[in-house]
């Protein structure tokens, strides 16, 4: 097959051999010359297998259209997760780049020349040179963000699972968020942020023990990082805070106990800025409440969010100004 520029229908290279599967009759929606009709892109127009017989043509093609080189191996389990995502994106991006798949086990010399040390290794090649690369089976959301550095995202790009889960969390539907993150975790078992997000959803459902168990099984560097600490803090705040019904019953009260409980509930629900603001105001009005409980809780939140978090930076300054 020729490598086709879907934007023009013109061949970028001379024809190279193709399998019986890709030489089958063109499906509906293709032009007479076999290229995709306007507005449509076929996988075979933007995806090609690479070997010693066509690697030079691939590099020549990159002078006109960027090439995303997917370096993989048959024994690589993460590759089996990543490649279908790249294939989907290649079609979705309608020819903004060509996806070239290189089996480094069958083409070890090419892999060595390209500096491939582990797979999956995805390299962006343009004008015959390496622009950027990433290694490992990144989640689709991260790949989209990486591609977004170099290509205009399609206008009709689907909503990512992460965005759906976050929308569910914001709507108070932790169960839906949990189901999404469970599916993502099964697909990307080594992408630990999904496990942290799943723990957050479990905590929001009141399943703190399950959430803690999930966090406890993370590698030490992930278990002790700010996102996981934040979930642990949220679980603790949930256990200390009054239920929502009791918080609603305090609506008419403005004493220190009511204000503290409202702030704790906000922290438990992930409304960190509102909770921090409530604690700071409580310090201003009643510093001695609960043996300095407001200040101690503020420090707990800072530790959970991490020193570099914008809310930590902002409210540390406010706390310092209040104390000194």
Q: Total domain count for the chain? A: 3
Question: The domain spanning residue 231 has which CATH number?
Answer: 1.25.40
Structural domain range at position 251: 241-323
Supply 258's token pair.
């009511």
Any domain includes 153: no
Looking at 79, 91, 122, 199, which residue is catalytic?
Answer: 79
- d(Cα 34, Cα 12) in Å, to the nearest integer? 14
Write down how long the chain is: 324
State whether 69 and 137 are in the same domain: yes
- d(Cα 1, Cα 4) in Å, to the nearest integer? 9
Any domain includes 154: no
- d(Cα 145, Cα 246) in Å, to the nearest integer? 42
| Residue appearing with tokens 């995805």 | 122
Q: Of 91, 125, 147, which residue sits at a domain end?
A: 147
The DSSP 8-state label assigned to residue 78 in this structure reads: H
Looking at 76, 89, 201, 203, which residue is catalytic?
Answer: 76
| Residue appearing with tokens 């076999």 | 34
Supply 312's token pair.
């930590």
- d(Cα 21, Cα 80) in Å, to the nearest integer? 20
CB of 36 closer than 8 Å to CB of 46: no
State whether 103 and 56 are in the same domain: yes
> Does pTM top 0.75 for this prediction?
no
Q: What is the pLDDT along the chain (324 residues), one digit of tens a residue?
A: 344 444 454 554 444 333 332 332 233 333 444 444 445 788 988 999 999 999 999 999 999 999 999 999 999 988 988 998 999 899 999 889 999 999 999 999 999 999 999 999 999 999 999 999 999 989 888 999 999 999 998 887 778 888 899 899 888 899 999 999 999 898 888 888 899 999 999 998 989 999 999 999 999 988 988 889 889 988 998 888 998 899 999 988 999 999 999 999 999 888 899 999 999 999 999 999 999 999 999 998 998 888 888 999 999 999 999 988
State whether 166 and 280 are in the same domain: no
Any domain includes 26: yes
User: Active site includes 79?
Assistant: yes
User: Active site includes 71?
Assistant: no
């Amino acid at each position: 097959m020729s490598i086709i520029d879907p934007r023009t229908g013109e061949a970028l290279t001379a024809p190279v051999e193709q399998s019986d599967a890709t030489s089958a009759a063109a499906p509906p929606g293709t032009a007479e010359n076999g290229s995709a009709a306007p507005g449509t892109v076929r996988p075979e127009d933007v995806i090609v297998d690479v070997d010693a017989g066509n690697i030079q043509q691939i590099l020549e093609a990159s002078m006109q259209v960027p090439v995303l080189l997917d370096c993989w191996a048959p024994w690589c389990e993460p590759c089996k997760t990543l490649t279908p995502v790249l294939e989907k994106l290649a079609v979705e991006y309608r020819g903004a780049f060509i996806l070239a798949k290189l089996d480094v086990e069958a083409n070890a010399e090419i892999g060595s020349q390209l500096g491939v040390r582990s797979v999956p290794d995805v390299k962006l090649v343009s004008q015959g040179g390496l622009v950027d690369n990433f290694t490992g089976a990144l989640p689709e959301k991260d790949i989209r963000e990486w591609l977004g550095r170099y290509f205009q995202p399609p206008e009709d790009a689907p909503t990512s699972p992460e965005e759906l889960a976050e929308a569910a969390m914001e709507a108070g539907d932790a169960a839906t968020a949990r189901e999404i993150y469970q599916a993502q975790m099964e697909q990307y078992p080594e992408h630990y942020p999904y496990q942290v997000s799943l723990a957050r959803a479990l905590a929001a459902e009141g399943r703190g023990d399950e959430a803690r168990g999930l966090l406890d099984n993370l590698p030490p560097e992930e278990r002790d990082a700010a996102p996981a600490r934040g979930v642990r803090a949220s679980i603790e705040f949930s256990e200390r805070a009054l239920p929502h019904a009791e918080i609603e019953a305090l609506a008419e009260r403005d004493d220190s106990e009511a204000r503290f409980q409202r702030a704790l509930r906000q922290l438990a629900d992930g409304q960190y800025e509102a909770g921090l603001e409530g604690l700071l105001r409580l310090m201003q009005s009643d510093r001695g409440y609960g043996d300095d409980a407001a200040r101690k809780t503020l420090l707990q939140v800072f530790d959970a969010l991490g020193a570099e978090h914008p809310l930590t930076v902002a409210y540390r300054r406010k706390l310092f100004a209040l104390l000194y």
